[in-house]
A and B are shown apart, each in its own frame.
Chain A
Amino acid sequence: MINHAKAAKAFLRNEKRTDWHDQALWFVRQKRDRAVNQLPEWEQLRETASQIKGATLSKLAHHLLEFERQALQNGVYVHWANDAEDFNRCVLKIIRKHNATKVVKSKSMLTEECHLNPFLECEGIEVVDTDLGERIIQFRNEPPSHIVLPAIHLKKEEIGELFHVKLGTEAGASDPTYLTHAACAHLREKFLQAEVAITGVNFAVAETGAVVVCTNEGNADMGVNAAKVQIHCMGIEKVIPRTADLAVFTRMLARSATGQAVTTYTSHYLKPVPGKEMHVIIVDNGRTDILKKPQFLNSLKCIRCGACMNTCPVYRRSGGHSYGSTIPGPIGSILAPGSDLKQYRDLPFASSLCGSCSNVCPVKINIHEQLYSWRQEVSSARLLRTGKSITMSVMAKILSNSSHYQAVGLIARRLLARLPRKMIYNSFNVWGLGRELPEPPASSFNQWYRQNRKNTKL
């Protein structure tokens, strides 16, 4: 079971580094602010995007089937996968069909979610992540800490050291341009050798059967164009009805993600080049379960821009890995419990419910309200941590009875005033670990009122 508070504590042990992480992401949030403020119609765009997604989700099967029909007509192979295992096997089957052993992959959170890399590696296949950030964490053998900036938790010096070991760059070199060039040279080799290219999908357009992939490095195109087989992997929620809808989302995605007006590359893949093969795998992996829950359904609108992470004051100070889920941060905290409530019971509580995520979200997902609802689900499933559950029962008892409440308040204030400091500030007093308790006043407001206002209204 994930213990977010504990993982966050470990992250916070190095306060300077936490500050650096917080600033790095806040900087991205500020870039996003500048970009969206250049569009006076931003809020209208959000509303439109949210409605398009909502309408699509309400007739998801219809749109997916239309997409399939169009894609088949274009000469694309379309596969359906129920869960991660299905999906991984499907990818493997395609690779095996071509007797391939070398695969390049551009960024895809779905393949992370399904743990495709380790699966293929076990089958003797080399998978190379070609997004720079993804390649870095692949070298380090760790999961991404952010869905758009997978290596945001690392400093350039650390990447320099890593590349020195893996790519033979000069020891001590940490100049980003130098390191990027080294990575490019290394990846170029891999692109040239690759037999199969895998990509994620940002949008799948039902009316044309095209899949759209947004990248900044052009690595999806490099892979797809060099390899003879291309495989695009999408969750069922990626479909949108029309090409016209795409314009709404491409205007929002990069602005929300990095503050760019648009991603450097927006690649549309419609049909295979003659002599080559194009596959699309449509994956459920628990999404239809979310679709069945009206209060959580909106979470499927997500376009994976990462803005909710950049704005989240908790994420910035606890790091993506502290969430222990494929997708971290606010959106991860409402998606993960849907896949395994017990495992991720902590995540809906890893938030102060400040609501910044919901405000920043380009498709208007009510993230903080869903966090609140997930808390209720955790409690209904009797998965609350024991301490929390007992405390709340006791509190509810006290607070539903005025005289008990006043008595407890009085005792608390007296104890606080009279007990020696070390009896108050001990390891049981979690509040007191980093904060003073309030100085107890002589009387409560209630007492003051009884003494100072005669015509008491009850």
Chain B
Amino acid sequence: MNHFKVTIGLFIPCYIDQFYPQVGIATLELLEKLGLDVGYPLLQTCCGQPMANSGCEKKAVKVYQKFVKNFSSFDYVVSPSGSCVYHVREHYNILEQTEQVKKVRQSTFELCEFLLDILKVDDLQIHFPHKVGIHQSCHGLRGLKIGTGSELVTKKQSKIHSLLAKAEGLEIVELDREDECCGFGGIFSIFHPDVSVKMGKDRVADHERHWAEYITATDMSCLMHLEGIIRRQNRPVKVKHIAEILNTARR
């Protein structure tokens, strides 16, 4: 299985590390199944996005530098979070652009992107016999362009849909609003809680209207927010990170 003599640095964002270890495990196992040489730098913390999105990017510089230091020795950095990857690629522009910084920014990938664009996997032989609603996390969708935003008049593509297309038993449900934001938005969820929760409720309702058993996404942060609402309101629908679904792969 080892097509690639490359090293992969696994970046597990702070909130996944602390609250959703199963997502990190699924990502790691999947990459290992694909025969890749995966390393996990134990001293990693966060990409620095929470500070930066609050307007404090200068305070985040140390965190950025730490990230670069932890990951600069790998050929690729892979993470189950579109938002953090987008942050590293887009917003590490305030660091001095050393070779190391440039390399890390260019070689950091969101999991689905990495599977499709770098590994070029075709059929992962996923087995997940459920109705699944896809939540297109905004930073992955419009930032990393892992899908086509519904606003654009270009050829439609969606990496999540492509990866799940051949999955056994899995049915993707159509939504009324295919890519509306869930309202998490990092600090937005704390400083604008009412709008944030309302947006989340509306998203959950859309998935439920179409009988989704699971809501999946490239970002656990969106799912953490949606799950918080689902549990508060005792809704039947569940959340599952895309890595967990992909990790049902047989190969």
Q: How distant is A375 from chain B, measured CB to nearest CB, in Å?
A: 4
Across the interface, name the chain A residue whose C-beta is closest to B199. Answer: A313
CA distance A432 to B142 in the complex (A): 29
Are B59 and A8 within 8 A (Cβ)?
A: no
Distance between B65 CB and nearest chain A CB, rounded to angstroms? 8
Question: Which B197-251 residues have a C-beta within 8 angstroms of A?
Answer: 197-202, 224-225, 227-229, 231-232
* Chain A hits for B44, CB < 8 A: 402
A443 at the interface (CB under 8 A from B): yes
B interface residue numbers (CB < 8 A to A): 12, 14, 16-25, 28, 39-46, 48, 50-60, 62-63, 66, 91, 138-139, 142-143, 149-154, 177, 179-181, 183-202, 224-225, 227-229, 231-232
Asked whether A313 lies within 8 Å of B63 as measured between CB atoms, the reply is: no
A349 to B188, CA, bound (A): 7
**Chain B residue contacts of A436, Cβ below 8 A:** 227-229, 231-232
Contact A457 B40 (CB under 8 A): yes
A contact residues around B63 at 8 Å (CB): 396, 399-400
Determine the main DSSP class of B at the interface with A. helix
Please determine whether B190 and A431 come into contact, CB atoms closer than 8 angstroms: yes
Contact A379 B195, beta carbon cutoff 8 Å: no
Residues from chain A with a CB closer than 8 A to the CB of B151 are: 33, 311, 356, 359-360
Q: How many residues of A contact B (CB 8 A)?
A: 79
Instruction: Find chain A residues with CB under 8 A from B142 CB.
Output: 354-356, 358-359
Q: With a CB–CB cut-off of 8 A, which chain B residues contact A318?
A: 195
Q: Which of B19, B194, B201, B229 contacts A8 (CB 8 A)?
A: B194
Of the listed residues B19, B39, B197, the one surrounded by the most CB atoms of chain A closer than 10 A to its CB is: B19
19 A-B contact pairs sorted by A residue (CB < 8 Å): A39-B153, A40-B153, A43-B153, A317-B195, A350-B192, A352-B183, A359-B151, A376-B56, A384-B56, A388-B187, A396-B51, A400-B45, A402-B43, A430-B191, A431-B228, A435-B232, A436-B231, A444-B17, A448-B24
Q: Does A351 contact B (CB under 8 A)?
A: yes
Given contacts A314-B192, A355-B143, A356-B181, contact A449 B138 (CB under 8 A): no
Decide: A413 near B18, CB < 8 A? Known: A12-B194, A402-B43: yes
Give the one of B54, B57, B139 with max A CB within 10 A: B54
- In the complex, A456 Cα to B44 Cα: how many Å? 13
- The answer on a CB contact under 8 Å between B188 and A353 is yes
The answer to whether A352 touches B197, judged by C-beta atoms less than 8 angstroms apart, is no
Contact A37:B62 (CB < 8 A) given known A379-B54, A457-B39: no
Q: Cβ of B229 and Cβ of A372 under 8 Å apart? A: no
- Complex contact B150–A438 (CB within 8 A): no
- Which residues of B lie under 8 Å from residue A353 when comparing CB positions? 53, 138-139, 185-186, 188
B51 touches A356 (CB 8 A): no
* With known contacts A5-B193, A396-B62, A354–B21 Cβ distance under 8 A: no
Q: Does residue A405 face the partner (Cβ distance < 8 Å to B)?
A: yes
Q: Is the CB of B149 within 8 A of A376?
A: no
Cα–Cα distance between A358 and B139 once the two chains are bound (Å): 13
Asked if A352 contacts B138 (CB within 8 A), the reply is yes
CA distance A272 to B50 in the complex (A): 57
